[in-house]
Amino acid sequence: MNKIETFQEIMQENRIPLAAITAGPDLHYLTGLDFHVSERPAILLLASSGQPHLVHPELENEKVKGCKYSLASFPYGEAKDTWASVCAQALGGLDVEKTKIGVVSTQMRYLEMELLHHALPELHFVSIDTALQRMRMQKGVDEIANIRKAIEIAEQAFNETLHIIEPGRTEKEIAAALVLNLFRSGSDPELPFSPIVASGVHSADPHAVPTERIIKSGDLVVIDWGASHDHYISDLTRTVSVGNPTEEFEKIAAIVKEANAAGREKAKEHVLCSDVDTAVRSVIAAAGYGDYFTHRTGHGIGLEPHEAPYLAADYQRALQIGNVFTIEPGIYLPKRGGVRIEDNIVITEQGAETLSSLPRELFVIE
């Protein structure tokens, strides 16, 4: 059974007669097709049984012909006033009740919703986020192999970049070198996200953006980066100390490392994601730094850098075999500095396997 057929079974279970999947990771996951998210819509219309219909630009005809699944193709030209009628044709050809249509809330744009509504004004839009997440969380052997390769590429690039981290460099210089090393190490051209290189006081900002700040002796430098391999991604963080760290920086680095280990030890099949978050957070809180761990413990990775499952206090789902996710505790001291250690984990029958292998201690640059 292919992914489309599996998803159609889930649609039947959830009484979703019709779904619309737009350009992006979900469309790639179901069909293997890649369309740029642009002003030209691409919509996979999927009934709960039967052949899917694909609305797409004419310029993508050859790409669609190469799809490994049988799709009914509904191409449109550059004249925008024809797009709604093509959508109507594609919808009309589906033998299914057309009053309710499932969409992914984080992917569906107003552009596509308006076209579908114009074609069938009676359509009622509902979320199919959970249904698709249910499939995508269960990574297969090939998916995990691609993530392993993305981790290998990312770790090689990081090791190459360590050589140029020194006082006098800017955050942007380090980030640029890291990006170049990611490509040299074999990453796909589209990185999962722009690397974070945050030094000194900036390292206390979990989502800092690289700036022209010059790295100085005594700085902590948080580096959060990832690679892509055949569309699957890695997401790692390590912290560098430029020169010997202060006593407090050394202390919080040891606490974060302990919290990271506690999370990796707690994670296994049937354990609640929230319980993994608690295990990690408890270590940091017990050391007196609970107020300085300001984000969730982790998130799923795969085709996207943030996807289900989420390791957070309010996420009560149990981990299952095939789940791949991050564990990334941090301590962030405002106006001083921060430490984060992020690893990538997969749940197996034996427990939790840590896929990333870089040391978790501070990388001290003499």
pLDDT tens digits, 134-150: 999 999 999 999 999 99
Rounded to an integer, the average pLDDT of 19-27 is 97
Whether 363 contacts 162, CB under 8 Å? yes
pLDDT above 80 (res 325): yes
Q: What is the pLDDT confidence band of residue 96, given thresholds at 50, 70 and 90?
A: confident
The angle subtended at Cα 256 by Cα 252 and Cα 262, nearest 5°, is 145
Kindly tell me if the per-residue pLDDT of 97 is higher than 90.
Answer: no
pLDDT score for 98: 83
Q: What is the pLDDT of residues 187-220, one digit of tens each?
A: 999 999 999 999 999 999 999 999 999 999 999 9
> What per-residue confidence (pLDDT) applies to 360?
98
- Per-residue tokens: 327: 């564990």
Both tokens of residue 363? Answer: 């990388």
More confident residue, 69 or 331: 331
**344, 302 contact by CB (below 8 A):** no
> Across all residues in the chain, what is the average pLDDT?
96
Higher per-residue pLDDT: 1 or 320: 320
Judged against a pLDDT cut of 80, whether residue 326 lies above it is answered with yes
Please name which of 366, 358, 361 lies closest in space to residue 153, comparing C-alpha atoms: 358
Q: Look at residue 366 in the predicted model and tell me its pLDDT.
A: 87
For 136-189, write each residue's pLDDT tens digit. Answer: 999 999 999 999 999 999 999 999 999 999 999 999 999 999 999 999 999 999
For each of the domains in the chain, give its residue range(s) and CATH number, in order of start.
3-136 (3.40.350.10), 141-365 (3.90.230.10)
- CA-derived radius of gyration, the chain: 23
CA distance 302 to 296: 18
More confident: 68 or 213: 213
Q: Exposed, middle or buried by CB within 10 Å (0-12, 13-18, 19+), for 189?
A: exposed
Give φ, ψ of 342 to 5 degrees.
Answer: -125, 125
The whole-angstrom separation of Cα 207 and Cα 256 is: 17
* Residue 15 neighbours by CB distance under 10 Å: 8
At residue 76, the pLDDT reads 97
Confidence of residue 3 (pLDDT cuts 50, 70, 90): very high
Is 263 in contact with 276 (CB distance < 8 Å)? Answer: yes
* Phi, psi angles (nearest 5°) of residue 128: -115, 20
Residues 27-57 pLDDT 10s: 999 999 999 899 999 999 999 999 999 999 9
Q: What percent of the chain has pLDDT over 70?
A: 100
* pLDDT value at residue 144: 98
Residue 1 pLDDT exceeds 80: no
In this model, does residue 245 exceed pLDDT 80? yes
